[in-house]
């Protein structure tokens, strides 16, 4: 009976979509060019408290400020903010910020945590073909670029030679400089994209990140490589950055905007690099082909992708291809000499089988080209508390152990149901120590290759409805959320009384409950519903240093400004990283099984997880990591495990991944 009435625990939350919007102030574009670039009403993705940005098909209604490109006429009339209306529903699969349960059927229609934290693209560029700026005072001669490239082993005559053959090397030694845009109303996106970049490149070594405007001459020579994310159209780029990039001696990965500033700064960019840009393509593009695998691109993304002119294919590598929905295609990225250019920002609208994975893999070329290909898998049994059914746990342990598959178990050691939601209105609470049969089942799991994780203390917060029932495993513990009138779960921010000390105390209570049950205290932490505040991340870093997670990232983390909880980015990782909060992250990247469709979201069945596994094979040292709720049919668990093995993945012990 317990919990049968609750459907879809966290896995999904509809993001609040705020209104739409146009900030006419956007970047340095003249008013004329802005007109008519909107995509109609009500498009956009909301982040957090009614802040909406983006250009998708999502309809939104809500408070807050919408940033984006929406309606051309709004601008034409000189209004800075256009209105949007609608229902706050989005479509498309999210990046899976949420793992939780889905038991039985229910009238409760829930939210889509998977959409939570999905970052939109930068606004659609005001024009398809940007104007090249007037040449600056210093034009870099082609000869300088070529000479520089030769000096680091790049042979012009064999331009196809990959950077990977001559650059990079020992990944532990890599040190990446991340430069990001900050100007304009979309400036905050730059810092979020930079955090996501930092998280990925941490796989390969250390990094530094700061606004591109702060770049000073010669700095990049101290780094293994530079990643520049052009997210603000016509961000003023320092001449020194352009000059140093064109010097050819430091590998630079450049995304999206402002490439026209670079090409204008060379005496003859095409002569040096063998390609030039042509303009943005705004057609519907939902596929990026890489290594013969089709990866997804969300068509909510209206930001466009850069196209090219005059590609000399004897000198330019074309790592991936953008495929228009009419079947025609063009290069998604180009690479020659020290420069790799990707025509969009692959962090926008990420999904399980997304072209984000192309970027994740291309970073190996940049930072660790010697990496040997391998594909590992992880499985985690989710939401096991004192209220668990011991028999279900035993069956799962037997199934996995008979396949020699190590696994982990996310455990919250205290059960709370302060409103009696599952007990006829009578409040209930008890510890693992009060359920010796569950403890015995956990010990059996350990004996069969299971590693226990700390999945919070109670997996709920006090008596708060946060946001479902107040009961363990339903609710958030380290973050607050509510369900709005549109059945959207809205992330509200840190819990009342939040602090690093509060979180540390919560962890200490959990530890004590493990000990009281006769269990060792876990060494890996997993946030309930993958959500915590910055001080919570700090507390976990201090105590564990290891999270099994998809992280939430906020403006302010890099800029040292107060954290802006209203704008957040969620990110999954296809390999272990050390994220910006300092902790080592065990990845979870292909989600979980959700047998029932809900709202506009399709069910996710074993075949869907396996499709994500297939996509992740493009990452040369990548993972397929999923989780499974023990109340589901164990045959589905087995299907995913066996399927991933057939794809070439090897299941590994989570402990083997901790440095
Ligand atoms: Zn959970």
Instruction: Specify the range with the lowest mean pLDDT, choosing from 90-94, 357-361, 412-416.
Output: 90-94
pLDDT digit string, tens, across residues 421-446: 999 999 999 999 999 999 999 999 99
- CA separation for the pair 550, 612 (Å, rounded): 16
Query: What is the share, in percent, of the chain residues with pLDDT greater than 90?
Result: 70
Burial class (CB in 10 A: 0-12, 13-18, 19+), 20: buried
Q: In this structure, are 644 and 583 located in the same domain?
A: yes
Cα of 56 vs centre of ligand 1, distance in Å, is 30
Cα of 110 vs centre of ligand 1, distance in Å, is 16
Q: In this structure, are 306 and 190 located in the same domain?
A: yes
Binning pLDDT at 50, 70 and 90, where does residue 542 land?
A: very high
- CA separation for the pair 209, 226 (Å, rounded): 10
- CA separation for the pair 357, 362 (Å, rounded): 9
DSSP 140: B
Binning pLDDT at 50, 70 and 90, where does residue 1 land?
A: very low
Cα of 529 vs centre of ligand 1, distance in Å, is 5
Cβ contacts of residue 57 below 8 Å, gap of 6+?
A: 43, 90, 91, 299, 300
If you write DSSP's letter for every residue of 203-219 in order, what string do you get?
TTEEEEEEEGGG--TTG
Cα of 618 vs centre of ligand 1, distance in Å, is 29
pLDDT of amino acid 598:
59
Residue 24 domain flag: no
Binning pLDDT at 50, 70 and 90, where does residue 213 land?
A: very high
Q: What's the mean pLDDT when you consider all of the chain? A: 82
The mean per-residue pLDDT over the stretch 602-613 comes to: 94
Q: In this structure, are 635 and 500 located in the same domain?
A: yes
Total residue count of the chain as it appears in this document: 659
Q: In this structure, are 520 and 611 located in the same domain?
A: yes
Q: In this structure, are 327 and 444 located in the same domain?
A: no
Domain interval for residue 317: 142-349
Cα of 557 vs centre of ligand 1, distance in Å, is 26
Burial class (CB in 10 A: 0-12, 13-18, 19+), 103: buried
Residue 61 domain flag: no
Cα of 390 vs centre of ligand 1, distance in Å, is 17
pLDDT of amino acid 120:
80
pLDDT of amino acid 44:
31
pLDDT digit string, tens, across residues 97-132: 333 333 332 222 233 334 556 788 888 888 889 988
Cα of 441 vs centre of ligand 1, distance in Å, is 19
Cα of 308 vs centre of ligand 1, distance in Å, is 46
Structure tokens of 153? 């082993």
Cα of 104 vs centre of ligand 1, distance in Å, is 17
The mean per-residue pLDDT over the stretch 207-222 comes to: 96
pLDDT of amino acid 153:
79
Residue 620 clears pLDDT 60, i.e. is over it = yes
Cα of 386 vs centre of ligand 1, distance in Å, is 13
Cα of 459 vs centre of ligand 1, distance in Å, is 7
Cα of 313 vs centre of ligand 1, distance in Å, is 50
Cα of 356 vs centre of ligand 1, distance in Å, is 26
Q: In this structure, are 387 and 336 located in the same domain?
A: no
Cα of 167 vs centre of ligand 1, distance in Å, is 42
CATH number of residue 559's parent domain: 3.20.20.370
Cα of 528 vs centre of ligand 1, distance in Å, is 4
Q: In this structure, are 303 and 378 located in the same domain?
A: no
Structure tokens of 402? 């008979």
Q: In this structure, are 466 and 534 located in the same domain?
A: yes
Bigger pLDDT: 148 vs 288: 288
The mean per-residue pLDDT over the stretch 242-246 comes to: 98
Cα of 401 vs centre of ligand 1, distance in Å, is 23
Residue 399 clears pLDDT 70, i.e. is over it = yes
The mean per-residue pLDDT over the stretch 311-335 comes to: 96
- For 542-547, the CB contacts below 8 A with 24+ separation are 542/500, 542/504, 543/504, 543/507, 544/454, 544/583, 545/582, 545/583, 545/584, 546/583, 546/584, 546/585, 546/586, 546/658, 547/579, 547/583, 547/584, 547/585, 547/586
Q: In this structure, are 392 and 457 located in the same domain?
A: yes
Place of tokens 């290759």: 449
Closest CA to 352 of 132, 614, 641: 614
- Kindly state the helix (H) or strand (E) to which residue 318 belongs, with its residue range: strand 317-324
Cα of 607 vs centre of ligand 1, distance in Å, is 23
The mean per-residue pLDDT over the stretch 155-159 comes to: 47
Residue 181 clears pLDDT 60, i.e. is over it = yes
pLDDT digit string, tens, across residues 49-93: 222 333 333 323 222 222 222 222 222 222 223 233 222 222 222
Structure tokens of 122? 């930068």
Residue 547 domain flag: yes
Bigger pLDDT: 331 vs 97: 331
Q: In this structure, are 524 and 457 located in the same domain?
A: yes
The mean per-residue pLDDT over the stretch 556-577 comes to: 95
Give yes or no for a contact between 224 and 173, defined as CB atoms under 8 angstroms apart.
Answer: yes
Last residue of a domain, one of 334, 349, 364: 349
- CA separation for the pair 627, 504 (Å, rounded): 26
Structure tokens of 459? 């997996």
Burial class (CB in 10 A: 0-12, 13-18, 19+), 6: buried
pLDDT of amino acid 362:
97
Cα of 382 vs centre of ligand 1, distance in Å, is 6
Cα of 123 vs centre of ligand 1, distance in Å, is 35
Closest CA to 453 of 409, 509, 393: 409
Residue 117 domain flag: no
Q: In this structure, are 324 and 398 located in the same domain?
A: no
The mean per-residue pLDDT over the stretch 186-205 comes to: 96
- CA separation for the pair 267, 64 (Å, rounded): 46
Cα of 433 vs centre of ligand 1, distance in Å, is 20
Cα of 47 vs centre of ligand 1, distance in Å, is 22
At residue 378, φ and ψ (nearest 5 deg) are -135, 145
Cα of 100 vs centre of ligand 1, distance in Å, is 5
Residue 659 clears pLDDT 80, i.e. is over it = yes
Collapsing DSSP to helix, strand or coil, 641 comes out as helix
Cα of 176 vs centre of ligand 1, distance in Å, is 34
Cα of 411 vs centre of ligand 1, distance in Å, is 8
Place of tokens 């990225």: 333
- CA separation for the pair 581, 549 (Å, rounded): 12
Give yes or no for a contact between 474 and 493, defined as CB atoms under 8 angstroms apart.
Answer: no
The mean per-residue pLDDT over the stretch 385-401 comes to: 98
- CA separation for the pair 340, 318 (Å, rounded): 10
Q: In this structure, are 237 and 301 located in the same domain?
A: yes
Cα of 192 vs centre of ligand 1, distance in Å, is 25
pLDDT digit string, tens, across residues 34-50: 222 222 233 333 322 22
- Domain tally for the chain? 2
pTM of the model: 0.82
Residue 10 domain flag: no
Cα of 527 vs centre of ligand 1, distance in Å, is 7
Residue 391 Cα to chain centre, angstroms:
35
CATH number of residue 284's parent domain: 3.40.50
pLDDT digit string, tens, across residues 260-282: 999 999 999 999 999 999 999 99
Last residue of a domain, one of 349, 364, 396: 349
Cα of 324 vs centre of ligand 1, distance in Å, is 39
The mean per-residue pLDDT over the stretch 193-207 comes to: 97
What's the first-to-final CA gap in the chain, in angstroms?
43
pLDDT of amino acid 539:
98
If you write DSSP's letter for every residue of 510-555 in order, what string do you get?
HHHHHHHTT-PPPS-B--GGG---HHHHHHHHHHTSEEEE-EEE-T
């Amino acid at each position: 009976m317990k919990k049968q009435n609750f459907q879809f625990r966290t896995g999904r939350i509809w993001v609040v979509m705020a209104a739409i919007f146009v900030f006419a102030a956007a970047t340095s574009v003249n008013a004329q060019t802005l007109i008519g670039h909107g995509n109609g009403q009500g498009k956009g993705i909301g982040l957090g408290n009614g802040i909406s940005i983006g250009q998708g098909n999502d309809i939104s209604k809500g408070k807050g400020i919408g940033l984006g490109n929406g309606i051309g006429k709004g601008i034409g009339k000189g209004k800075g903010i256009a209105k949007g209306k609608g229902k706050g529903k989005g479509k498309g699969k999210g990046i899976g910020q949420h793992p939780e349960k889905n038991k039985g059927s229910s009238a409760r229609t829930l939210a889509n945590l998977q959409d939570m934290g999905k970052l939109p693209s930068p606004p659609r560029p005001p024009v398809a073909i940007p104007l090249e700026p007037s040449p600056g005072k210093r034009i870099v001669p082609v000869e300088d670029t070529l000479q520089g490239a030769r000096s680091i082993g790049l042979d012009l005559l064999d331009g196809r030679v990959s950077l990977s053959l001559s650059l990079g090397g020992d990944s532990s030694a890599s040190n990446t400089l991340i430069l990001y845009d900050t100007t304009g109303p979309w400036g905050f996106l730059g810092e979020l994209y930079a955090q996501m970049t930092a998280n990925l490149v941490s796989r390969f070594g250390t990094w530094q990140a700061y606004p591109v405007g702060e770049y000073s001459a010669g700095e990049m020579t101290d780094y293994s490589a530079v990643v520049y994310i052009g997210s603000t159209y016509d961000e003023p780029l320092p001449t020194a950055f352009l000059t140093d990039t064109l010097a050819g001696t430091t590998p630079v990965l450049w995304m999206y905007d402002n490439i026209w500033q670079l090409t204008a700064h060379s005496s003859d960019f095409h002569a040096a690099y063998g390609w030039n840009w042509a303009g943005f393509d705004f057609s519907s593009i939902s596929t990026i082909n890489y290594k013969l695998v089709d990866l997804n691109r969300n068509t909510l993304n209206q930001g466009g992708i850069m196209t090219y002119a005059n590609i000399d294919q004897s000198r330019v590598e074309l790592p991936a291809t953008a495929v228009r929905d009419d079947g025609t295609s063009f290069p998604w990225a180009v690479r020659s000499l020290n420069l790799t250019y990707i025509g969009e920002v692959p962090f926008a609208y990420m999904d399980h089988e997304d072209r984000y994975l192309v970027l994740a893999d291309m970073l190996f070329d940049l930072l660790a080209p010697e990496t040997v290909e391998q594909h590992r898998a992880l499985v985690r049994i989710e939401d096991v508390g004192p209220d668990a059914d011991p028999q279900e746990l035993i069956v799962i342990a037997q199934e996995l152990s008979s396949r020699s598959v190590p696994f982990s178990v996310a455990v919250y050691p205290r059960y709370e149901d302060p409103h009696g939601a599952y007990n006829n209105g009578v409040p209930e609470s008890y510890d693992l120590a009060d359920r010796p049969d569950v403890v015995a089942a956990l010990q059996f799991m350990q004996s069969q290759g299971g590693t226990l994780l700390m999945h919070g203390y109670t997996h709920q917060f006090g008596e708060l409805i946060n946001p479902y029932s107040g009961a363990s495993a339903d609710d958030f513990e380290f973050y607050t959320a509510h369900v709005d009138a549109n059945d959207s779960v809205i992330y509200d921010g840190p819990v009342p009384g939040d602090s690093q000390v509060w979180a540390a105390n919560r962890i200490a209570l959990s530890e004590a409950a493990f000990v009281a049950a006769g269990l060792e205290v876990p060494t890996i932490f997993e946030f309930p519903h993958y959500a915590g505040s910055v001080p919570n991340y700090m507390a976990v870093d201090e105590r564990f240093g290891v999270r099994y997670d998809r992280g939430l990232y906020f403006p302010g983390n890099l800029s040292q400004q107060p954290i802006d909880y209203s704008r957040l980015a969620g990110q999954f990782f296809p390999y272990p990283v050390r994220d910006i909060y300092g902790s080592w992250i065990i990845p979870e990247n292909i989600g979980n099984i959700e047998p029932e469709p809900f709202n506009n979201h399709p069910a996710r069945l074993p075949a869907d997880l396996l499709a994500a596994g297939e996509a992740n094979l493009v990452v040369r040292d990548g993972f397929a990591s999923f989780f499974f709720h023990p109340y589901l049919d164990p045959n589905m668990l087995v299907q995913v495990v066996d399927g991933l093995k057939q794809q070439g993945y090897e299941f590994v012990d989570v402990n083997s991944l901790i440095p």
